[in-house]
Structure formats: structure tokens, C-alpha cells
């Protein structure tokens, strides 16, 4: 099946949506599908490894308007049989692809990759103005938490969960030889306010008053310089690293921390869990779909509770060790094979919705 993945943001930009669209399309290609990535992100100096159509439109950067008629013509020209629109908080191209499903006659799945809770009034008004709840599309989101907000914005329209995918075996490396008795915490995130790296640093500084540990915080972003200036030697901000380097750091760490309550999915936390690390994350975030409290890790409701949990883990390392042993022995429930099967199921549902609309 020729599937058009319509996304405003794509490689060479780096982010959760960009990488997941690429990885999903790559694995669908390996299955025998014919994916095409359709984006307004400008090309890089490197050749795309997947069929990619980079279009221009009105606007700045990757966020550009592209007319529904013009988009329909592009889809017809390339023989597209199904559309998968990838939406975050602001995605004019993907919204156009979703809205044009009825006129193009193409089965369409709309995946929401972000948490809409904080922008709910705006999104609900926009959805009602567009009459989005009536579109003949299959709505989906990357987690149960994200789906609940989409469902609310669409006034109760059913929203499925299509999680991000991962190959757990690629992350499960042999544990690195221990050279220090001091435990190591790790977190991977963009250094932006929404991910709450400054709140995590405050928590770690408070914990440092009573406990010995190391912490490695991976990621780039506008907050990075000030965070580096505020951190003691025991808390390291590495900047951006590639997946190979992150795997090596996970193999030498003891516990992963995901501090953001508005985490729509948490692919970095899933990578850490796949590597065998216990994960401490916020309850109510997308991470809760694959981290069960006191099984694969712990779910906390506040920064104060995060501080308490990290403290008693340092006081009693056997608790984290037991969870780590479980995580290394049992693969996570979210894997590429289940994600690909779920995507195919949603394409079939989208075709049903479109057919029902046509015969109404």
C-alpha cells in the first residue's frame, strides 16, 4: 500500500515526531508497503533514505500553509492509497491533509503526537470551527494521556492509541563494568521549559544535600548554557548525543528520570526501560502506558514525591536492582511489531469510515 506520511516537521530536524515518522515509514517499507514522506521541512545536504517529497508553501520554517486542492493533486500524482497525518500542537500541513480526507477519497489516520491539555481552549475552538469531529478519519494519539485530551477537544469523538515504536533488543546492552559505588541517574530530553530540566536540576541539588550520586542529563536546547553553569561537577549536562552514545550511557546508569508531566509519549524513557533501567516518571504522562508503578519503575505526582522516591532508592539500592532485573528479563509491551499491526488496523478502520460516509 502506498502510504503518505504527512508531517510539517521531518529530518534533518531532530525531535520525537521527526524520528518516529522516519522509523515508522522505514519499517513499513521493510514490510512491503510503499511509504512516502510529505513535508514542508527544507531538505538537508544529505540524500533522503526514504522517498520524501519536500514541498513549499506560505509561511516560515517548516510550518507552511499548503492548499487542500494542491495537496490533493500531489497525493493523486503519486498514487497514494492512504494518508497518515502527523499532528502536534501546530501543524498546518497535517491539518490540511486530515481535513481533505473526504474530498480526496483517501483513508486517513490522524496521529496526535503532543499533549493538548495546556492548549485545550484553542484546539477545541479550532476543531469546532473546522467541524473536525465530523471528518471521515481515524483519530489516534501516541498514548492514553494524549488521547484523552484529543477526545475532549473533539467533543467525545473516539480516539485510538497508536504508540511510538521501538526495537527493545537494540537497547539492551550488557551492563557496563561498575567502577564506582556511587549510583548514576540519567535523563534524556530537550533542554526547553516544557521538559522541565530546571525543575529536575533543583530536585537533584536538594537530593545532593543528603545523598551521594552522579547524574547525567543528555540533550540540547536554549536552557542548556544556564543549566551547565548552575550544575556541580557531579551533575553533568552533555549536550546532544547520538543514539549510540546514549545507549552506552544507559548501560552504565542505574535509574532513568522522566520529570515532565506533559510528556505525550516519552520515547527516551521507553529506550531506557528497554535498556533495563528502572524509570521514575510523572503519573498522568504518556510514560504511564508502559511503566507500571512498582513494576517497571515508579510514577510520582510531584517534584516533592520525585525527591522522596530518589532518596529511598539511594537508601535501599535493592529496590531499584529488583526492578532492573525485571526490566532486563521482560521486554516492554510497546514494540515495533505491535505498533505496525496497530497502524494497519487503523488504516483499515479509516477506509471503513470513509466508505460509510460515502454511502450515508
Q: Which residues does residue 59 pair with via DSSP β-bridges, in sequence order?
A: 64
Question: Which tens digit of pLDDT belongs to each residue from 208-221?
Answer: 999 999 999 999 99
| Helices then strands, each counted (H, E), the chain | 14, 15
Grid cell locating 205: 541539588
pLDDT at 78: 96
Grid cell locating 312: 529511598
Mean pLDDT of 194-223: 97
> Is residue 339 within 8 Å of 84, Cβ to Cβ?
no
Residue 61 confidence (pLDDT) above 90 = no
pLDDT at 145: 97
Stretch(es) of the chain classified as CATH 3.40.50.2000: 2-165+336-358, 168-329
The per-residue b/e assignment along 259-295, b for 16 or more CB within 10 angstroms, e otherwise, is: bbbbbbbbbbbbbbbbbbbbbbbbbbbbbbbbbeeee
Residue 36 confidence (pLDDT) above 70 = yes
pTM of the model: 0.92
Lowest mean pLDDT: which of 53-67, 168-182, 244-258, 296-310? 53-67
Residue 60 confidence (pLDDT) above 70 = no
CATH class in words for 168-329: alpha beta
Please classify residue 323 by burial: count the beta carbons closer than 10 Å to its beta carbon, then call 0-12 exposed, 13-18 middle and 19+ buried.
Answer: buried
Fold of 2-165+336-358: Rossmann fold (3.40.50)
Amino acid at each position: 500500500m502506498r502510504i503518505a506520511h504527512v508531517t510539517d516537521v521531518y529530518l534533518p530536524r531532530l525531535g520525537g515526531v521527526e524520528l518516529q515518522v522516519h522509523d515508522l515509514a522505514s519499517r513499513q517499507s521493510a514490510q512491503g508497503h510503499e511509504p512516502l514522506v510529505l513535508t514542508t521541512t527544507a531538505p538537508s545536504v544529505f540524500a533522503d533514505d526514504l522517498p520524501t517529497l519536500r514541498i513549499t508553501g506560505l509561511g516560515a520554517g517548516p510550518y507552511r500553509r499548503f492548499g487542500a486542492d494542491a495537496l490533493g493533486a500531489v497525493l493523486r500524482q503519486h498514487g497514494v492509497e492512504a494518508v497518515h497525518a502527523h499532528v502536534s500542537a501546530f501543524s498546518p500541513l497535517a491539518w490540511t491533509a486530515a481535513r481533505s480526507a473526504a474530498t480526496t477519497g483517501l483513508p486517513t489516520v490522524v496521529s496526535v503526537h503532543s499533549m493538548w491539555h495546556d492548549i485545550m481552549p484553542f484546539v477545541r475552538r479550532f476543531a469546532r470551527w473546522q467541524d473536525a469531529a465530523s471528518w471521515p478519519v481515524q483519530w489516534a494519539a501516541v498514548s492514553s494521556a494524549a488521547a484523552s485530551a484529543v477526545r475532549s477537544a473533539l467533543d467525545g469523538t473516539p480516539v485510538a492509541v497508536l504508540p511510538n515504536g521501538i526495537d527493545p533488543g537494540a537497547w539492551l546492552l550488557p551492563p557496563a563494568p561498575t567502577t564506582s559505588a556511587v549510583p548514576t541517574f540519567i535523563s534524556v530530553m530537550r533542554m526547553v521549559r516544557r521538559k522541565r530540566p530546571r525543575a529536575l536540576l533543583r530536585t537533584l541539588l536538594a537530593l545532593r544535600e543528603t545523598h551521594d550520586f552522579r547524574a547525567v542529563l543528555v540533550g540540547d536546547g536554549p536552557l542548556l548554557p544556564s543549566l551547565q553553569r548552575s550544575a556541580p561537577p557531579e551533575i553533568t549536562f552533555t549536550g546532544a548525543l547520538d543514539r549510540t552514545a546514549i545507549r552506552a550511557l544507559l548501560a552504565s546508569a542505574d535509574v532513568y528520570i522522566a520529570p515532565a508531566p506533559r510528556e505525550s509519549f516519552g520515547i527516551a524513557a521507553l529506550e531506557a526501560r528497554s535498556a533495563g533501567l528502572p524509570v521514575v516518571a510523572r503519573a498522568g504522562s504518556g510514560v504511564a502506558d508502559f511503566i507500571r508503578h512498582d513494576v517497571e519503575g515508579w510514577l510520582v505526582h510531584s517534584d516533592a514525591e520525585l525527591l522522596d522516591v530518589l532518596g529511598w532508592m539511594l537508601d535501599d539500592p535493592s529496590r531499584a536492582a529488583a526492578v532492573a532485573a525485571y526490566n532486563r528479563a521482560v521486554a516492554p509491551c510497546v514494540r515495533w511489531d505491535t505498533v505496525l499491526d496497530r497502524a494497519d488496523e487503523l488504516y483499515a478502520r479509516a477506509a471503513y469510515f470513509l466508505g460509510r460516509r460515502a454511502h450515508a
